[in-house]
Structures are given as C-alpha cells and as structure tokens.
Amino acid sequence: METGFEKFSPLTRKLLDSRGITVLSEAEKFLHPDWGRDSYDPFLILNMEKAVERILRAIKNEEKIVVYTDYDCDGIPAGVILHDFFKKIEYSNFENYIPHRHDEGYGVNIPAVLKFAENGITLMITADLGITDTEAVARAQELGIDVIVTDHHIAQEGKVPNAYAVLDSKQTEDTYPDPMLCGAGVAFKLVQALIQRGGFLKITDGWEKWLLDMAGLSTIADMVPLKNENRLLAYYGLKVLRKSRRPGLNLLLQKIKVNKEHLTEDDIGFMIAPRINASSRMDHPLRAFELLSTQDLAQAEELADWLNQLNDKRKGMVAAMIKEAKQRLRARELFEVIVLGHPEWEPGLLGLAANNLMEEFNRPVFVWGRDTDGKIKGSCRSDGTVSLVELMTRAREGVFLQFGGHAEAGGFTVSSEGIHTLEKELSEVYRAMEKKIKAESVAVDDELLLDDVNWNTYKEVEAFAPFGVENPKPVFLFKNSEIIAVKKFGKQKEHLELEFRNSRGNKIPAIGFFVGEKDFPKVLLGAGEKVNLVATLEKSVFRNYPELRLRIVDIFK
C-alpha cells in the first residue's frame, strides 16, 4: 500500500486491500464517491455523437420513435429512463415497447419490426438488448427504421448489428473507462448526452439525477461489478431511491413493508427486483414498466397491488415445482448432471427452480418446460465445477436447438426427441471435462470479537456499501463464541436466531433466514455451546428503531 493509508483504521485497510485497492487516490474515490469528480463524459462511449445527432433530428422533425427494451429488472428501468426524458421535454410522438417473454421471446423480433414499419415508426432505440439481433436490426433498417442499439451484452462471434449506431462498450474498439455498465446505465449515459447537446429549456441543471433511481436499481439488480462508474450509479441510485417521487414504487414499498428511507441493496435484490421480474415471468412486463413510470395515483395503487399478488402467485408456483422435482429426484438414480422437467412447468420460472435444485443436490441442473409454441425450453444453473456454456458447447451437434448464457447460468431449447437423452449426454460430457474445485470454506475478511459489534465498526463497514458483485459484504469470524439462547421465528418457525453476549453483557443477536440446525450438522446449537461464527454486520430498522445484529453465514466447531 502507498504511504498515507495509515490514516485509515486497521479494519478499513484490510477491507481495501481485499478489494485490491492499494493506491490512496483510489481508496478515497471508493470510500467517498463524488458525482462531479467520478462520473465520465458520456461522449467517451463509441458512437454516442452519432446516436445523439440522430435522436435530436428525430425530435426536431417530430418523427415517430419506439423505445424497445428487455423485459427484466434492467430493461424495464432502462425504458423508464428514456420515457421520463421524452416526457420531460414534452415530446409525445414515442412509445415504449417490451416483448412478451413467452409469446415473443428475448430480443428484437421481426414481427414486431414489421408492425413498427406499418405504424410509421422511423427510429427505434433499444435498451439492454439488440447487440445479438443482427437479422431483426437489418430488417428494420431495410424498412426505413433507423436503429440505435444501446446494450451491454457481447456481440455473437464479434458480429455487431448493421444499425445506424451501436452504443455498447463491450465492442473491441470502444475505449469508455467502464465497459461494465448495465443496460439502464447505458440508457442513462445516452440521456446525459442528449441533455448536454439538446439545450432543452424544460430541463433544469441536474434534473437527470432524478433518473439515477432507475439506473441504480438496475445496476444492483442486474449484478454487474460494483466498481468504477457502476459503484457511483449504485451509490447515488440508492440515495435517489430513498427520496423517490414515483407513486408506484412508493406504494409497492409500503405494501411490502420496506422502509424507503433506509432502503438497501438487499431490499432491491430480495424484494423489489423479484417483483419487477415477476411481471414478465407471469404476465406482461409492460405493467411493471407502467408501475415505475406512472404519475397517476389510482393506477399506481392498482399496479402495486397487482404486482404484489403476482409475486405471491409466482412464489407458490415455484415452491410447488421444486417440491415435485425433489420428490422425483429422490425416487431415482442421480447422474452427474440433473435434467428434469414437465410440459406444464412455466418456462419463465425455471431458473428459480434450477437454482434451488442446484444448491440442494450440488451439481449442474437443467430444468425444462414447454412454451406456448410447444417448444421445450429450459434454464440451467451450475454448481461452480464447470462452465455451463462450455458444457452445452461440447455436447454433440444437434443436441440443443439453441442455447446461451454464461458459466453459472443459461437457457436452452431442445427437440421433443432430444430431451429424453439429454441427461445421459450431458453427464457423459461432464465426466470428460476438467472440473474446478469448489471452495468448501467461506472466505473471511477479518477476525473480530463480539465487543467489536458496535456502531463504530458498522460505520466503517457501511463506507464500503452498496455491496454486490466484486464488492461483497465483509464477512467476519467470531471465534469460540458462547451461545446464550437459541430461538426459531417466522410463521413456520423457519428462521433461526442465536443470542450471544459481549463482555459487558449486552445482547448480540445473530440471525439466519430459512436456516436451522440441519444446515450446520457438525455443531451442536444449544445454550452454553461454544462455536465459531461466520457472519456479516447489518442494521435492522423495525418500527423505526435501529438495531445492530449479525447475519449468519456459517457456523463450525
């Protein structure tokens, strides 16, 4: 580490070091984000000048514009960002379009493009998709629709669509300082650039910062690395979310009992994003878009209720799917790779089921259902021993009709005949592949005493928030800690609370949601027992009373 780091406490130095931050200026930037200093000029993104010029020309000539976005918790907020910009400048000749997950599938589709041409649309702006849709983009251009692709995914085999302009910093010739923005992050940078060039009288200086709630929501939900400019978008995004003026979002937070003023990245990951995603999994994603963009209180109330009920229905369907899957798996021989499904299982829910089964059975899992076209589609999750894309690539030619994804998660389509031999095929490929060793132990940032569980320590840890990919929550080891009491709570007593005490006799609660004694079979959890506790620090705000507690990660002898 450079000189100057001695001004930080030993704990802060350790946490900076574990994140690879050894330069003082980088440490200051990470611990004290500053919008003016740390955000980049949007015109550093390749083709930004060209994209802005085309959109401003369309606005001037009152052309009909469509904003075409993905149906998840990155694409939907990205669409809201562009919608809010056009509304703010009082431009009304535009529409937002989000494809139906089950009827249209992912990406820009040609039937939608044909419809746009019939309706006189001359400019299409994509968000969080488009980089792989070379055919649909080419068709749009042929039909007189200029396409501006804004995306953050990787082009297939380096083939970039022949669009009017492509904004995607994963292009090889792009030199933007942060190529890891999410889809809504790229949409936000486009709006920033439009405001800089447009000279819009309706937009006051700094107005675009109100859009950071959507950029921050997606940055956290889409699990992009929370470093560089993404850290800035997540950090300020949470600040704006805590002051949100969106009626739909505010009503949704009230209904799910999330305290807006104390909103955290965990609330986004576990409470908000699943509900936004439930919209496309169970119904139409446009309704989640309407919830986030509406200014109508009555509509906001109706949509918040609808989304909450839809999410409850989703949870019930996924739970039933997982229960049936586990019963079937326990009654048969298990191979190296699990493949199972049912024609009536909803394709939009399969990823959630695959993840649960992968954790339970510790092996790659492929779960399938049948979509409205009768095609067998599925989702897969890896246990970390192999890359799913590599596994699917190595399968015999013709086994998969389509597949995609990355090392940990993916999607696939197979024929009705191919599904019967898929498990055998993938297990054979798996046996021939080189495996990665799974870490059995949890990486610990530092060892603390129960006396260190105080607000000063919490303040030091909180300076590293928001947490996420490549900036995980600091994990601490509390050695040889005596359990004072064990309690189960929740409707079905499905959660665990262990009580510890510091040297002054003050209670230190440690909680784990959806965990019990069965999750720690090598230790005895009882009053008077001494255990090694691995946990994170967290602040709970219940009835506006802040409580500092530990969140259980692991317990061992």
Write the DSSP assignment of 173-204 as a string of letters.
Answer: T---S-TT--HHHHHHHHHHHHHHHH--TTPP
At residue 148, φ and ψ (nearest 5 deg) are -110, 110
Provide mean pLDDT across the span 545-549. Answer: 90
pLDDT at 518 over 90: no
Q: What is the mean pLDDT of the chain?
A: 94
Question: Model confidence over 126-139: pLDDT tens digits?
Answer: 999 999 999 999 99
d(CA 184, CA 190): 10
- List the single range of 175-189, 247-261, 370-384 with lowest mean pLDDT: 370-384
Provide mean pLDDT across the span 373-396. Answer: 90
Sorting pLDDT into bands at 50, 70 and 90, what band is 396?
A: confident
Under 8 Å between Cβ of 465 and 31: no
Q: Which pLDDT belongs to residue 439?
A: 63
- List the single range of 135-139, 346-350, 373-377, 510-514 with lowest mean pLDDT: 373-377
Under 8 Å between Cβ of 69 and 124: no
Sorting pLDDT into bands at 50, 70 and 90, what band is 440?
A: low
Sorting pLDDT into bands at 50, 70 and 90, what band is 491?
A: confident
- List the single range of 24-38, 143-157, 531-545 with lowest mean pLDDT: 531-545
Q: Which residues pair with 190 in a beta bridge?
A: none
Q: Which residue has the higher pLDDT, 545 or 310?
A: 310
pTM over 0.85: yes
Largest CA distance in the chain: 77
The whole-angstrom distance between residue 8's C-alpha and the CA centroid of its chain comes to 32
Q: CB 11: neighbour CB atoms within 10 A?
A: 18
At residue 214, φ and ψ (nearest 5 deg) are -75, -40
The whole-angstrom distance between residue 259's C-alpha and the CA centroid of its chain comes to 21
Q: Domains in the chain, please, with CATH?
A: 5-32 (no CATH), 42-241 (3.90.1640.30), 243-322 (no CATH), 333-432 (3.10.310.30), 446-556 (2.40.50.460)
d(CA 260, CA 253): 7
Three-state SS for 312-378 is: HHHHHHHHHHHHHHHHHHHCCCCCCCEEEECCCCCHHHHHHHHHHHHHHHCCCEEEEEECCCCCEEE
Provide mean pLDDT across the span 303-310. Answer: 95
Question: What count of residues does the chain have?
Answer: 557
Distances (CA, A) of 499 to 84, 449, 524, 542: 48, 15, 14, 18
pLDDT at 347 over 90: no
d(CA 92, CA 62): 9
Question: Model confidence over 229-238: pLDDT tens digits?
Answer: 999 999 999 9
Q: Are strands 485-489 and 402-405 parallel, antiparallel or unpaired?
A: unpaired
Instruction: Provide the b/e sequence for 71-102 (b: ≥16 CB within 10 Å).
Output: bbbbbbbbbbbbbbbbebeeeeebebbbbbbb
**Of 310, 312, 252, which is closest to residue 282 (Cα–Cα)?**
310
Distances (CA, A) of 160 to 36, 52, 67, 224, 373: 33, 19, 20, 22, 29
* Radius of gyration of the chain measured on its C-alpha atoms: 25
Write the DSSP assignment of 117-167 as a string of letters.
Answer: HHTTEEEEEEES--TT-HHHHHHHHHTT-EEEEE--SPPGGG-----SEEE
Write the DSSP assignment of 490-539 as a string of letters.
Answer: STTS-EEEEEEE-TT--EEEEEETT--GGG-TTS--STT-EEEEEEEEEE
H-only helix segments in 421-483:
422-432, 455-462
E-strand stretches of 382-484? 402-405, 409-414, 446-447, 476-482
Q: Which pLDDT belongs to residue 3?
A: 77
pLDDT at 106 over 90: no
* For the chain, percent of residues with pLDDT exceeding 70: 99
Provide mean pLDDT across the span 36-44. Answer: 97
Provide mean pLDDT across the span 426-441. Answer: 84
pLDDT at 105 over 90: no
Q: Which pLDDT belongs to residue 441?
A: 66
State which of 79-93, 98-112, 151-165, 192-206 shows the largest mean pLDDT: 79-93
Nearby residues of 367 by Cβ (< 8 Å), 6 or more positions away: 325, 339, 340, 341, 345, 350, 353, 354, 357, 378, 379, 380
